Every structure is written in structure tokens, then in C-alpha cells.
Structure 1
């Protein structure tokens, strides 16, 4: 089978199984099997080996069963960077790039940034920030044993200066809670119980622990905000990604924690996607501002 024929056949099978982006995904699957990173139509026609054909057939079958394309490829791009992904870790999404863009805007022109990323998953947020902003140091926190190998691999590749803490962002070690940060970022689980009952087939492959945020999706925001807003340096910012319809409730939580300048940023679809607030005053170890 030639590479051109492989693309045509793969697209046809995906179309038969109702995959909406069959043309794009068929090309991606053939690229993955061939070990190339450009559209097959731009390459000289090649013949796939028997092993490549078997691999392509297996990947196509799995995709027809709605296994995420990102998992099948083992990597996906986020903010122009490649990230290792697979079963057990949340897939980086374009919506999250809004948060990265804002961090870069807030810290543009600064010599150094002390960063903390909570519920880090693949590490796409802190890695993208560290690559595009000079002088980034700090910490990332992740609880899932299944996600940690991807996190380590991605930060070793893109942001080796960041320290990985294996643990619960809701019950961090005392050592970590003594630090202060210029920027704290977090894309926590935020799907509601209703959302979880109506997951798209592809999303159902992703870890529930990275998706479910309690009955109304706000559990993590309620618990993380009072805990970590105290660890902002004077002038520091806390930035969350939020789900659709959650932005105003999360903004209120930041304001209740004493943060100022709180605002909501939309994603490309106009949905409130990022909520942020600033610590104007320093918080002492006894919890008092001053």
C-alpha cells in the first residue's frame, strides 16, 4: 500500500465511523506511522511496510472506538511546543493557551519570575511559560501517579529549572507552603456531575480525577483559593482556568480571598475561560496583610 492510498483508505474508514475530522485525522495517523511531521501529500509517494500497515490498521481501529487521537500519537502540540501525552494524563487544549498568554503579558520585561503550577498534569502551562519567559524558577504539584511520568518527561525537555512535587495541592507539605510566588497558575478539575454524565466518548478516556470538580464543578476553586492566595508575593497574581459558566463564581472566590483587580478573560469562542486576581499587600506568616 502506498502512502497516498493509506491516507485515502484511513480517511474513508474514519468517515464510515462518523469521525467529524476524518480528513485531518487520517493524514495525522499516516504521518505517525511513517514517522513524518508534514502532510503526506507534500511528500514523495512511498510504500508502507507490512509492519507499518498493521500499525496503521490498529491505530485506525482504536480511533474508530473514540480513543483520543492525541493518545494514539503519544504527543500533542501546545503553544507551539510538543508534549508527551497518553492514557492517564489530561490532553493539553488550545483554550488553556489564554492563561499562558496572560502570564506572559503580566511578566513581560521582568528579570525573574517565581512560578507555582497546581494540578499540573502534563506540565503544559508551566513549560510554555518557562520557554517563553526568561528567568522562570519555581514549583509544580501533581498528585496522579499516572500523570507524573508525562510531567517529568515534559519538564525535563522544556523547563528543567522547575521542581516537581508529587502530592496533593490541597494538602501540600509544609516546606512548599513556606514559599512565595509571583505567579500561581492552575487548571483544576472543573466538570460538574452533569458534565461527567454527558462526556464525549473521547473525553471519557481521560482520567476522571483530572475532570471532576464536584457537583457544581467548583470544589477545587473553593479549597485552593484561600490556601494558595496567601502564598502570593506582594504584587503577585493567581490565575485559574475555569469551565463554561463558572467565571463569575470563581471571581467572587478570589475577591473574598482579598485579591484585587480580579477579571475574566474569554477564550477564542468568547467563553469566560481564565479568572485572575492580584495580591496587592504582602501576607505575613500569621495570615495578616501588611
Structure 2
């Protein structure tokens, strides 16, 4: 896999025609493999990751695998990326289950959780991560079909997957949701996307309160500009070449720089945090 320079401020112009995008076509490739294996924090556990085939999801899958967790990944249709992630995960000595389907569909969400439990016999961590975004120059250009797809994919799936997962999650388990910096500062060209990410913040805070007595923690991560396939699949070549240059650190982040947030939230080190959000965003102050 081609490695990129995490200190690079800009990427070359590029675009992809379909979302969520194909990681193998990105130049340079996002960094997903992290540092060499350290003390394992998730030995024997099982983690389900929606959108785990590429980007942040892949980086989380690989990091969790290094720490001993078996991995179940749901993905839309990016089979080549999913298979590449499976190889990276299984190289860590754990098992990886790939589940193809659309998380906007409640039936798929529930069946995919069941498949993971059938395969591994348990579920310890649910990571609601997959999302879509469709930039529009004017608010009135957001169609009802776009609005419906964005909400079904980005927030309805959190309800569907979490509801089914709660049939299997035990005391000490964890639900982690991917929100966004846009939930806190807004986005003029991603109004529907930012709205779903704001809903996810409220979902995290509400579900954490509902599950506190059951000792199941619910937290979230709100990334800023991260170099994932969703970027060239969403923006123009020029916008991609400038992506991330407007944050204090003057660059986009790499998926492997975000993944440790999820590891912390899933591990026993986080036993006293629930209803909280971590902010790997290149230095934006969002007071969230």
C-alpha cells in the first residue's frame, strides 16, 4: 500500500464519481495501519464497524485488531477496499467478517448485527461510523431524495444498529458514534450532513443517559478534515487539493491519527466516561 506523508498540507486534485468512494484510487493512500503493536487492550472482544472498509473505519478496524479484537465490518459496495481491510485485520492474528449491504435499510442493519454475533458468539463494541455527504451550493438545491438518503444513512442507521446491538451488549460494553466538527460549527454547503451530525451528538448524549444503569457506555468522535475516500467522492479536484488547509494545523488528518480516539473510548481506560465527544480536528476550538 502506498504510504502518504501525514504532514503534507494538500493533496493533488482528484475526484471520484460515486460515494462512499474507493480508497485504492486515492493519491496518496490514506494512512490506516498506525504504529507497531503495543500492549493489547481488547483481547477476545468483538467489534462491529459500519463503513469499516476504508478511511476512519479501516484505521479503527486495524488498530482494534492489533489490540486483540475480532472485527465485523459492514460496507455498501466497495468490495475491493473491504477485502484489503480484511487482509490487514487478519494479519494481526484475529478474524474479520465482511457484511455487504446498505445501512439505510433497517432490515440489513439488524441482520448484519445478527450475522456478527452468529460468527463470533458475542458483541462488545458497536461503532456507528458510515456516512454520506452531498455538497450543495444553495440550500434550496437539497432535494427530498438527498435529504432522505443522508438522514437514513447517517442517523437512522445509528438507531437501527444500536437497537439490535443492545440485545447482545453486556455491562462494560461500548457504543461509539462518529459525528463531525460540522455538528458544532455548521457547514454552509453541507447543511443536511451537518444536521445529521448534530443529531448524532444528541443521540450520544441521550442514549448514554438511557444506558447508564446498564453500565453500557456511549461516546463519540467528531473528526475534522480527515483524508478518506469520502473526500474525493464529494468535492471538486480543486477543493480536494485545498482540503484541510484552513485548520490551525494547516493539513488534513490521517485516519490513523483518529483511530486512537476510538480505542480509548472502547477500552477499560475509559470506564468513567460516557456521553462525551472527542475532537481530532486539527485545532478547531468547538467547545463541544
TM-score w.r.t. structure 2 length?
0.48
More strand by share: 1
Which one has more relative contact order, counting CA pairs under 8 Å at least 6 apart?
2
